[in-house]
Every structure is written in structure tokens, then in C-alpha cells.
């Protein structure tokens, strides 16, 4: 049995990870607090109070789609492997650590959208998360866990993409915040847009 070699049940690791992703993506919204207004029926007062939290709404939308992108990449990787070893489990735990942390830098950017430090931390956290994907992919190649239906060359090319789009782009976003916050926000918003609209083919090649 799998047990005899210290392996893990792939479905339970997937269920656990899916649970973590589903919770992160849902609790993000708890950071959006209903603003307090003096006159409960006053439309203008409520409108201006909501206008004030609009940056929080946009940082929430970006984080939501980023987590969807992470879920897609996670799904592709776990579909590609035959079993979960000790190393894969703990690299996955490292990945989930930074995913579970995302609500904090998201709230930071939502509260202080024009403070470069918040955007820098957001980029670093996402970059450290992306590093998890790169380490996972290297371990899969090293431990020869690729399932038979996966093309090893395409998988290796995916490793390179994961490094470029999953680590370097996030770090670039974080660093560019020191030049101007808007550049960082544009780079961060670009990442899910790229994955959703332009990476269809890449997804097919990699997987």
C-alpha cells in the first residue's frame, strides 16, 4: 500500500488544499466592513462612505482572481502526479502557508493602497507563494512523480513559466511599488487577466 512508503492519500491532500483555498477566497470579503453612517436613511452619506472603501473592493477582486489562478495551477500540478510523497506534502504545506496569509497583505493594500510598503509586502508574499510552485515542480521532476499521460518536456516548460509568471512578475510588482504604486497595482491586476484570457493554450501545453 501507499502507506508502506510513507506516502499520502492524494484525494485527502487535495480535499484539504481545496478546503483551504475555498476558505481563503471566501473570508477575504470579511475585510470589507459596512461603513458606519450617522443617518441610516441618508443615500448621499452612504454613497460617499461606500466610495471611500472602493479601493478595498478592487484589492478584493484582484485577490479573488489571483486565488482562482493559484487553484488552477495547484489543480494542474496534482493532476500531473501519481502520488504524494513526504517532500511533496510539505512543499504543498509551504505553498498553503503563503496562500493562507494572502488575506493580510490584501487588507494592507485595501487600507493603504498608495503606501509602497503595503504593495511591496503584497508582492513579496505572492512571490514566496509562487516559489512554492517552482519548488513543487522541481521536486516532482526530481522524484519522478509525473503521471504517464503528461509530457515531461511540456512540464519542464511549465516550470519556467511558473518561475517567470509566478515569482518574477509578483516580485517585479512589489519592487515597482517604490517607483509608483499605480505601476504595482497594474502589474498585480495584469497577472489574473493574463492567466484567464491569454494562458489557455499554455495550460493545455503544460498539463
Tell me the torsion sign for CA atoms 55, 172, 196, 107. Answer: negative
| 194 touches a copy of itself by CB under 8 A | no
Q: Which is nearer to a copy of itself, 168 or 203 (CB)?
A: 203
Q: Considering CB under 8 A, how many residues would be counted as binding a copy of itself?
A: 73
Distance between first and last Cα of the chain: 27
Three-class SS state of 84: strand
Q: Determine how many CB atoms are found less than 10 A away from the CB of residue 131.
A: 20
The cell numbers describing 18, all together, are 481545496
Which residues in the 90-149 window bind a copy of itself by CB under 8 A?
Answer: 90, 93, 96-97, 100-101, 103-104, 107-108, 111-112, 114-118, 121, 149
Which residues in the 142-161 window bind a copy of itself by CB under 8 A?
Answer: 149-150
| 189 touches a copy of itself by CB under 8 A | no
Three-class SS state of 198: coil
Which residues in the 3-42 window bind a copy of itself by CB under 8 A?
Answer: 3-6, 8-9, 12, 14-16, 18-30, 32, 34, 37, 40-42
Owner of C-alpha cell 503521471:
147
| 184 touches a copy of itself by CB under 8 A | no
Amino acid at each position: 500500500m501507499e502507506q508502506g512508503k510513507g506516502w499520502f492519500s492524494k484525494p485527502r491532500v487535495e480535499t484539504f488544499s481545496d478546503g483551504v483555498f475555498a476558505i481563503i477566497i471566501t473570508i477575504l470579503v470579511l475585510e470589507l466592513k459596512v461603513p458606519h453612517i450617522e443617518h441610516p436613511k441618508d443615500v448621499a452619506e452612504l454613497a460617499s462612505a461606500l466610495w471611500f472603501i472602493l479601493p478595498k473592493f478592487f484589492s478584493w477582486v484582484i485577490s479573488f482572481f489571483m486565488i482562482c489562478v493559484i487553484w488552477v495551477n495547484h489543480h494542474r500540478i496534482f493532476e500531473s502526479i501519481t502520488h504524494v510523497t513526504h517532500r511533496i506534502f510539505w512543499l504543498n504545506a509551504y505553498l498553503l502557508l503563503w496562500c493562507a496569509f494572502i488575506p493580510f497583505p490584501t487588507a494592507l493594500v485595501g487600507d493603504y493602497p498608495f503606501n509602497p510598503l503595503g504593495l511591496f509586502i503584497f508582492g513579496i508574499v505572492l512571490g514566496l507563494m509562487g516559489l512554492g510552485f517552482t519548488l513543487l515542480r522541481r521536486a516532482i521532476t526530481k522524484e519522478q512523480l509525473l503521471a504517464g499521460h503528461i509530457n515531461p518536456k511540456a512540464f519542464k516548460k511549465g516550470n519556467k513559466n511558473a518561475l517567470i509568471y509566478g515569482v518574477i512578475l509578483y516580485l517585479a510588482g512589489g519592487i515597482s511599488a517604490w517607483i509608483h504604486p499605480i505601476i504595482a497595482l497594474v502589474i498585480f491586476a495584469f497577472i489574473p487577466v493574463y492567466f484567464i484570457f491569454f494562458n489557455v493554450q499554455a495550460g493545455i501545453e503544460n498539463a
